[in-house]
Structure 1
């Protein structure tokens, strides 16, 4: 009886994937930016109305929590990765990378709650990092694994900014 090697058995992405390579630096930069603001190293730009920042920050955090919970608990992405299934329903009909998007929204929300206009440069940089990172890693693997099915999915669903209409 021939036993399968780890590479033969694992024909799917790792359950955690490359996520820590995106999430950890993004969270670290967010924490650092908040700390530098609180310590006065990154100055505040005069007086800004805090209510819009608090509302936008809170909504962004709620959106991030929803995206994460929808992917992890409702879509059961861990199970579907192990089954080698391309997930295109549920939250994945609205955004291709809801877990990464969740951290993008959570970090953006935390930065907005600081009410520091200078920190608003970070969310577009986080988005750019996510876009380049995913294109060079997971999307290459998914294209190789699922081919035309993944290409069609990519044409219908955004990489990291959820659409309300979705693809269901």
Structure 2
């Protein structure tokens, strides 16, 4: 896949998946209207805002890396040719999923919406099942020892505080 095709494919998939999951659906639940804050503390809204601010750039960066370095898209129908291990991928194996859940949960906390909090938990559960049952086996099949080494050095969900120790995972 050419870089242009990968960029266009990633942009299209961004609109179909993360923008719907973390934008349109949360808006349809909350209409972005503020309710009384969780725990009656306005400061909780700052935590929600922080999750959104952390999630959106991470999501955009990860999508860009799929296109520019992976020469593919995050969509299962047009996967990358190269294993993406730079940027946030040095700290966590699934930064797109982590970012989507962070944005959803951030909105739940910002707008103090329990339904959205439950939706975020269900989305994370779906991602967990998808990653373990489909994505990781496919990556092992496609990238073999390179992916095994990556898994040994980078956690699935909770970002490590330092880069992966291998030089292979320190590029970019």
| TM-score between both structures, scaled by the size of structure 2 | 0.67
Q: Which residue of 1 aligns with 2:75?
A: none
Q: Distance in 1 between matches of 2:97 and 2:90?
A: 15
Please, what is the CA RMSD of the aligned residues?
3.4
Q: Secondary structure at the match of 2:99?
A: helix
Greater gyration radius:
1
CA contact (8 A) 2:92 2:160 kept: yes
Show CA shifts across 1:26-65 (max 9, x none). 5454233314x95xxxxx7897324232111111011102
Q: Which residue of 2 aligns with 1:63?
A: 54
Q: Distance in 1 between matches of 2:158 and 2:61?
A: 15
Q: Which residue of 2 aligns with 1:53?
A: 44
Structure 1 pair 80/70, CA: closer, same or farther in 2 (3 Å)?
same
Q: Which residue of 2 aligns with 1:80?
A: 69
Equivalent of 1:132, from 129, 141, 153?
129
Q: Which residue of 1 aligns with 2:151?
A: 154
Q: Which residue of 1 aligns with 2:74?
A: none
Q: Secondary structure at the match of 1:158?
A: coil
Post-superposition offset of 1:78: 0.4
CA contact (8 A) 2:37 2:44 kept: no
Post-superposition offset of 1:108: 1.3
Q: Distance in 2 between matches of 1:139 and 1:21?
A: 22
Structure 1 pair 159/112, CA: closer, same or farther in 2 (3 Å)?
same
Residue correspondence of structure 1 range 111-122 to structure 2 within 5 A? 111-117=108-114, 119-122=116-119
Post-superposition offset of 1:90: 2.2
Q: How many residues align?
A: 150
Q: Distance in 2 between matches of 1:154 and 1:126?
A: 22
CA contact (8 A) 1:72 1:78 kept: yes
Residue 28 of structure 2 corresponds to residue 32 of structure 1: yes
In terms of mean alpha carbon deviation, does 20-29 or 60-69 score higher? Answer: 20-29
Q: Distance in 2 between matches of 1:88 and 1:111?
A: 30
| TM-score between both structures, scaled by the size of structure 1 | 0.69
Q: Distance in 2 between matches of 1:47 and 1:102?
A: 22
Show CA shifts across 1:53-88 (max 9, x none). 211111101110231243245xx3202222722122
